[in-house]
C-alpha cells in the first residue's frame, strides 16, 4: 500500500484531536495535504452508527463491538483504502486498537477475539504508525467534565483497563507504536510525534 496511514489512540480526554490538528498543520506547512478522519463517524453510515453507539439506549457488549466494527469496515472501504492507494497521508482519530481496548479489555469481550473481528472488518489494514496519547482514568474524567457519552460514562476501572491495554499493545510492537504522555504540553507532544513522523514522509507531491 502506498500513502502513509497514521492513527491516534488514547483514553477519552487525552488530547488526541488536538494532536491530529497539530500534525496536520505541520504537514500543511510543508505542502502536504493530509486527509483527517475519525472513528466512529468518518462516513455517512459511520455518522449514523456513531450516534447509535455513543448516544443510544443500552446495548449488549457484542452488539456494541459489531457496530464499531461496521463503522470501520465502511470507513476503510469508502475512504481510507482508496486514499492510501492514491498515495495520500491519512490521519485517523481512533482506529481498531480503540475497539480492542474498549470492547476487548474494557467490556471484557476478550482482546484477541475483538482483534480478529476488527481485522476482518478492515481487511487487515494496519496503520504505519499508531500514536497513543496516554492519560490516567482520573485525569481523563477531570478533563471531560460533565458531558458524557455511553463509553465516557463508564467507571474509572473500565478506563484503567482500556489504558492498560493500550500500553500492552504498544509494548508488544514498539516499532509501530509511539506512546506520549498526555499531561505534557500539546507542543511538547507534537514535537515527539513529529520526530517519528518526519522520517516516514513520502516526497511532497509537485
Ligand atoms: P471519540 O469521542 O474520541 O471520537 O470516541 C468515541 C468513543 O467511542 C470513545 O469513548 C471511545 C469509543 N470507541 C470504542 O469504544 N470502540 C471503538 O472502536 C472506537 C473507534 C471508539
* 3-state SS class at 94: coil
Ligand 1 contact via 39 beta carbon (within 6 Å): yes
Distance 49 CA to ligand 1 centre (A): 11
Distance between CA atoms of residues 171 and 191, nearest Å: 21
Question: CATH number for the 4-200 domain, one of 3.40.50.620, 3.30.930.10, 3.40.50.300, 3.40.50.1370?
Answer: 3.40.50.300
- pLDDT higher than threshold 80 for residue 130: yes
Ligand 1 atom at minimal distance to the Cα of residue 102: 15
* Under 8 Å between Cβ of 90 and 5: yes
Higher pLDDT, 203 or 42: 42
Residue nearest to atom 19 of ligand 1 (CA): 98
Mean pLDDT of 145-160: 89
User: Pick from 77, 3, 84, 91: which is nearest to 43 by CA?
Assistant: 77
Query: 161: closest CA among 114, 116, 119, 100?
Result: 100
Alpha-carbon distance of 139 to 183, in angstroms, equals: 9
Task: Say how many Å lie between the CA of residue 31 and the centre of ligand 1.
Answer: 31
What pLDDT band is residue 47 in, cutting at 50, 70 and 90?
A: very high
Write down the domain spans for the chain. 4-200
Q: pTM, whole model, 2 decimals?
A: 0.96
Cell numbers placing 110: 476478550
* Distance between Cα 10 and ligand 1 center (Å): 9
Can you tell me the mean pLDDT for 102-106?
A: 97
**Nearest residue to 67 (alpha-carbon basis) of 79, 56, 82, 78:** 56
pLDDT band at residue 66 using 50, 70 and 90 as cut-offs: very high
Mean pLDDT over residues 38-56, rounded?
95
Amino acid at each position: 500500500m502506498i500513502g502513509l496511514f497514521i492513527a491516534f489512540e488514547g483514553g477519552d480526554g487525552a488530547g488526541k484531536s488536538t494532536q491530529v490538528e497539530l500534525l496536520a498543520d505541520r504537514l500543511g506547512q510543508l505542502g502536504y495535504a493530509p486527509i483527517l478522519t475519525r472513528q466512529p463517524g468518518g462516513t455517512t453510515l459511520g455518522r449514523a452508527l456513531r450516534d447509535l453507539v455513543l448516544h443510544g439506549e443500552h446495548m449488549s457488549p457484542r452488539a456494541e463491538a459489531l457496530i464499531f466494527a461496521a463503522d470501520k469496515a465502511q470507513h476503510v472501504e469508502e475512504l481510507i483504502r482508496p486514499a492510501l492507494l492514491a498515495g495520500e497521508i491519512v490521519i485517523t482519530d481512533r482506529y481498531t486498537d480503540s475497539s480492542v481496548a474498549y470492547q476487548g479489555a474494557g467490556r471484557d469481550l476478550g482482546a484477541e477475539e475483538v482483534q480478529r473481528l476488527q481485522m476482518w472488518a478492515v481487511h487487515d489494514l494496519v496503520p504505519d504508525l499508531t500514536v497513543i496519547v496516554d492519560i490516567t482514568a482520573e485525569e481523563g474524567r477531570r478533563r471531560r467534565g460533565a458531558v458524557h457519552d455511553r463509553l465516557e460514562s463508564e467507571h474509572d476501572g473500565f478506563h484503567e483497563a482500556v489504558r492498560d491495554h493500550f500500553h500492552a499493545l504498544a509494548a508488544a510492537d514498539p516499532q509501530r507504536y509511539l506512546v506520549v504522555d498526555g499531561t505534557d504540553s500539546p507542543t511538547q507532544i507534537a514535537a515527539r510525534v513529529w520526530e517519528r513522523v518526519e522520517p516516514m514522509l513520502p516526497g511532497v507531491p509537485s
